[in-house]
Structure 1
Amino acid sequence: MRYLLIFWAGPLALFWGWYFLSLNDISFGTTFFSREMNDLVFEVYGNVLGIDPQAIPPLAARACVIDSLILFAIIAFRRRRDILARFQAWRERYS
């Protein structure tokens, strides 16, 4: 579970943290978090991909959601016996 937090939640938190700080121009005196950097980064990505730069953040959000659902489905499949045992214990306790 520790590796899940490091390799999945860490990069997502870094990216979305940067995105929302730079989108709102909360730069803390650095260029990295400025709105100009946000616009430049998405303009470069838009030119590379050949799409409108304003379309990239919703596409990234949708990709993060779908990837997260796939990841949690794999984890749930690997731990299905534990999940089923907890569900049965919960059902016996409350029924």
Structure 2
Amino acid sequence: MKLFLILWALPILLLGSWYALSYYDMNFGIFMLTREAHDLVFQIYGNVLGIAPESIPPLVMRAIVVDTLIVFAIMAFRRRKKIAAWWRESRASSVQSSEARINAESLSSAP
């Protein structure tokens, strides 16, 4: 599972880091981190896909969100027994605390 999470998170971190650094032109002397390279990459992708280069970042963001939801769904499915036990335990403790609160209120309001 750890390898799965690493293989999911590493490309997102690399892409996000490159995007942020190149968008704000923090290049540290590396051409790939310049704003010129940033615009060139999105222009090439836009030409290949036949869409406007400005529409690519929101599409990538939506893809990352969908992938993240799928990864969390897989994780939840794999740990569904632990999650169900935690849910039952929290529901039971909340019912007990509400019953105790009701009992305390009824005792304090009795003459």
How far apart are the structure 2 equivalents of 1:75 and 1:87? Answer: 16
Q: TM-score, normalised by structure 2?
A: 0.79
RMSD of the TM alignment (CA)? 1.2
Please say which of residues 71-80 and 54-63 is displaced more in the overlay. 71-80
Q: Give the corresponding residue for 1:74.
A: 74
How far apart are the structure 1 equivalents of 2:48 and 2:35? Answer: 20
Q: Give the corresponding residue for 2:55.
A: 55
Deviation at 1:28, TM superposition (A): 1.1
Deviation at 1:73, TM superposition (A): 1.1
Q: Give the corresponding residue for 1:39.
A: 39
How far apart are the structure 1 equivalents of 2:3 and 2:23? Answer: 29
Q: Counterpart of 1:85 in 2: which secondary structure? A: helix
How far apart are the structure 1 equivalents of 2:2 and 2:70? Answer: 18
Q: Which has the higher helix share?
A: 2
In structure 2, the gaps of 5 or more residues are: 96-111
How far apart are the structure 1 equivalents of 2:80 and 2:63? Answer: 25
How far apart are the structure 2 equivalents of 1:85 and 1:52? Answer: 49
2:8 corresponds to 1:8:
yes
Q: TM-score, normalised by structure 1?
A: 0.91
2:16 partner letter: W
Deviation at 1:78, TM superposition (A): 2.1
Q: Select the structure of larger CA radius of gyration.
A: 2
Deviation at 1:71, TM superposition (A): 1.7
1:41 partner letter: V
In structure 1, the gaps of 5 or more residues are: none
2:57 partner letter: P
